[in-house]
A and B are shown apart, each in its own frame.
Chain A
Amino acid sequence: MTSERLEQIYDKYKDHVYRLAFAYCKNKADAEDIMQEVFIRCFSLDIDVENEAMLKSWLFKVTVNKCRDMFRSLRYKYSLTAVPLEEADITYETPEESDVFRAVMSLPTKYRTVIHLYYYEGYSVKEAGEILGINESAVQTQLYRARKKLKNILGKELRL
């Protein structure tokens, strides 16, 4: 790949990868580290496909795997029982934004990730399952349980 192509890929997907990593890690520093690792891996393996959707989902797969690796590391396993949301860089414009975002971030990791892929990135159940390496019924179950938990946290049904 040429330098121009690498930059093109980076500029197009950096925020998507960063946001997915943030949804998983809940803090900016780790999300940035993961984003950098994802692109270095992509570029060093010379991964490039003509189908942009395939490239994006490949980047997401690597992102999820990198996040999982990080959470498996000693730091997360033994130092932190629950990862807090780093609020410093988050801007809320309305109280509803704050309530909903915090509610999603308070969900267990697997529910946050599936909510992000399905509702934010607009992936289908099948596509989200492929990215996460789980089957469709598991995605549907996780989405159902995530919505149920959100309803409990917010005290009312979240409009989708």
Chain B
Amino acid sequence: MNIKDYKRVMDRFEADEKCKEEVFDMLKRENKIKLNKDYTEDVSGVEVRHGSNITKYIGIAAAFALVAGGICTTSVLLHNSRNGSSQLAEVIEDESEETTETSEQYDYYAIAQELTDSYLECVNIVLNGDISYDTEDYISFYVYDTFKEFEDERRFFKVTDKRFGSCQDVYEYYRGIAGPDLPENFMDARNVDDQAMIKLWLGGDVSELENGSRVNINSEDMSSVDVSAQSVNSGVYIDYNGQLYVADVVTHPYKYSVLDIKSVYTNEPELVETGAESFAALRTINNIHYGDDGEISSETNNKKLFTFALINGEWKIDSVISQ
């Protein structure tokens, strides 16, 4: 048996031709002009009609009557009301508001900047533990690995940021900005296929472990290691006796102290596409490590494509794709 058997079967899979028609039909319907920049709408078969002279004169008279009526109404408004000027202002204001609503002009750049800045702040809080904490109030666990023969302290500081009292609070903040489709509870989100990283950030409740105790994280058989042990070994946040704690060091994915990393943008938003209900922008993220030797840039230059969608009249991040 050979993997080539898989390849041969897979080679016979071909997308149905009707899919192509559907894709291009949809694109044409939704975005005719973009498909072909030279697109011009030719109008043919238009019948040109000339009105009679009598109709023309009646039309001019009617237009004159309308203008005269408008002038009279304005005069009455100004004359009759004690607050005549403000009433007029209200009328004008209402008209301008209506014009703005119908024109749908968005400042895409400003929206992209605000939302991507919120995203980065979220990344720094959730992944990098960029949060206020009490250095005097901490708990420790001593993780050891019988397979790799090592032991190390995992120290967690009590979070003092009033917004976050538990891992669930951190998760809801993350979900609100970057993952609106995720389950409501962070423990459920840990089991979502592509959200395994949530397990690394949010360790959950480890109150069953005694402060200062040794915790076995035998790497030879990860399936037998209990959830609390995994959480203190790799979690950025844990819940302990009803309080939220943040790690000072995590083993994965960074070798650095998690509290000493900060993600920053190296460029301003670069608009890629704009549309009535969605648009996209590119930004590049770099990681800065604040070590004993000063500031070290990781030069990761991770380019992210943000797509935004207008949902119930509010712009939100729709997806974040690494480029």
Contact = CB atoms under 8 A, between A and B. Distances in A.
Interface of A: 2-3, 6-7, 10-11, 14-15, 17-19, 22-23, 32, 35-36, 39-40, 43-46, 58, 61-62, 65, 68-69, 71-72, 89-94, 96-97, 99-101, 104, 109-110, 115-116, 119-120, 130, 133, 135, 154, 156, 158-160
Given A90-B12, A115-B6, 12 more contacts: A3-B36, A6-B35, A11-B20, A15-B15, A36-B22, A40-B26, A61-B322, A62-B321, A65-B194, A72-B181, A91-B9, A96-B2
Contacts, number: 122
A85 to B, nearest CB: 11
A58 B323 contact: yes
A119 B7 contact: yes
A104 B9 CA distance: 11
B280 interface: yes
B45 interface: no
B42 interface: no
B253 A130 contact: no
B225 interface: no
Nearest to A43: B27
Contacts of B16: 32
A46 B1 contact: no
B13 interface: yes
Contacts of B60: none
Nearest to B307: A45
Contact of B19 (A19, A36, A69): A36
Top 10 nearest A-B pairs by Cβ distance?
A100-B5, A18-B15, A101-B9, A97-B5, A159-B2, A68-B194, A14-B15, A96-B5, A45-B273, A119-B3
B24 interface: yes
Contact of A44 (B15, B27, B194): B27
Given A10-B20, A32-B15, A135-B253, A101 B6 contact: yes
Contacts of B323: 58
Given A15-B14, A44-B273, A65-B321, A158 B3 contact: yes
Contact of A19 (B1, B8, B10): B10
B30 interface: yes
A14 B20 contact: yes
A67 to B, nearest CB: 9
Contacts of B305: 45
A99 B1 contact: yes
18 contacts: A2-B36, A15-B14, A22-B10, A43-B23, A44-B27, A44-B30, A44-B273, A45-B272, A45-B305, A46-B273, A62-B321, A72-B192, A100-B2, A100-B5, A115-B6, A119-B6, A120-B7, A133-B322
Query: Which of B1, B12, B15 neighbours the largest number of chain A CB atoms within 10 Å of its CB?
Result: B15
Contacts of A23: 10
A92 B9 contact: yes
Interface in B22-53: 22-24, 26-27, 30-31, 34-37
Contact of A10 (B10, B23, B181): B23
Interface residues of B, number: 42
Contacts of B101: none
Contact of B2 (A15, A91, A110, A158): A158
Contacts of A109: 193
Contacts of A17: 15
A97 to B, nearest CB: 4
Contacts of B35: 3, 6
Contacts of B31: 44
Given A15-B15, A72-B181, A120 B273 contact: no
Contacts of A15: 13-15
A89 B275 CA distance: 38
B8 to A, nearest CB: 6
A109 B307 CA distance: 26
A19 B23 contact: no
B319 interface: yes
Nearest to B28: A3
A26 to B, nearest CB: 12
Contact of A18 (B1, B5, B14): B14
Contacts of A35: 15, 19
A73 B298 CA distance: 36
Nearest to B320: A65
